[in-house]
Amino acid sequence: MKRTISAAFAAILVTALSISTVSNVFANKPSEAERFEVFIKNDGFKKKLALTDEQIEKLKAAIDHSYFPHGRPGKPAGDPPADKAFRMDDEFLNEVCQILTPEQKKQVQTYKFQMWGGLETSSIYATKFEVLGLSQEQREKLRALEVERSGKYQEILKPAGLDMRSQEAKEKAGGETPEKEKETKKPSPEEMKAVMEKIREPFAGIGKEYNEKMLAVLTPEQIELGKKLTEEGKGLREEVGLPQREGVGSL
């Protein structure tokens, strides 16, 4: 019987690949609330943004009201369909905009772009590029690419025994139940290595393909600004004490 690797182990496995192009590729991608949480938890960012205690409390409340695909204490995991997830992300960001000053909003947009690799990775979630001045048409095109790319990665992962869809999605498709997931055996080091080697090259190829598609959506002026901000932000993570991004779900 073919062994299926658990979603939890799959996340660890792909993280170990240290390929920046595989970050945030699965259906259960981080929500905007999950991404934003770093700004109120990290002392470096709190200082750089000059957040007041009142703002921090309001931002915490906004985050707590949003959804978390990976779950958190007192809040179960939830993985809504892409259209609903995008709508919920926009609602959260609209609420955040009411709390931050215009200058703080611009700073957050810049830091988000720089933290998630700027133009040097294919992390193509649209809000990452807001600092470049996206039109609504560009925003929709980038979100369509995000969904399309996620599907491409799933085509590779499922035959390899990796299924990163949400538990709800797997059950609807007749896949593993939580009980079956618990029974999954931990793969051996040899199996880990085999899966890593199997998906490394196709993952890199998809990352390159979608990086090119992402750039095709942007104007020459946006690309130039993006290059400038990417270069300026290379020391940002170290400056605020965050580790470098290495894989799935990393901030």
Contact present, 161 and 13 (Cβ < 8 Å): no
Q: Which of 144-148, 177-181, 184-188, 207-211 has the lowest mean pLDDT?
A: 177-181
Mean pLDDT, range 200-222, rounded to an integer: 90
pLDDT at residue 115 is higher than 80 = yes
| Token pair recorded at residue 235 | 């020391």
- Maximum mean pLDDT: which of 6-20, 65-79, 139-153, 176-190: 139-153
**Model pLDDT, residue 207:** 84
**Model pLDDT, residue 100:** 96
Does residue 247 belong to any structural domain of this protein? Answer: no
Indicate the number of domains in the chain.
1
Enter the DSSP assignment of 177.
-
Structural domain including 164 reads: 7-235
Higher pLDDT, 84 or 20: 84
Mean pLDDT, range 201-219, rounded to an integer: 90
Backbone angles phi, psi at 34, to 5 degrees: -65, -40
**Model pLDDT, residue 199:** 82
- Burial letters for 177-215: b for 16+ Cβ neighbours within 10 Å, e otherwise? eeeeeeeeeebeeeebeebbebbeeebeebbeebbebbe
Q: Which of 27-41, 138-152, 160-174 has the lowest mean pLDDT?
A: 160-174
Higher pLDDT, 219 or 89: 219
Does residue 249 belong to any structural domain of this protein? Answer: no
**Model pLDDT, residue 217:** 95
List pLDDT tens digits, range 124-136.
777 889 999 999 9
| Token pair recorded at residue 105 | 């909003």
| Token pair recorded at residue 59 | 């931002």
Does residue 1 belong to any structural domain of this protein? Answer: no
User: Exposed (0-12), middle (13-18) or buried (19+): which is 81, by Cβ within 10 Å?
Assistant: exposed
Does residue 245 belong to any structural domain of this protein? Answer: no
pLDDT at residue 251 is higher than 60 = no
pLDDT at residue 70 is higher than 90 = no
Backbone angles phi, psi at 72, to 5 degrees: -165, 165
Does residue 244 belong to any structural domain of this protein? Answer: no
**Model pLDDT, residue 11:** 43
Closest CA to 147 of 24, 14, 2: 24
Mean pLDDT, range 73-79, rounded to an integer: 58
Question: Per the confidence metrics, is the pTM higher than 0.75?
Answer: no
**Model pLDDT, residue 108:** 94
Does residue 37 belong to any structural domain of this protein? Answer: yes
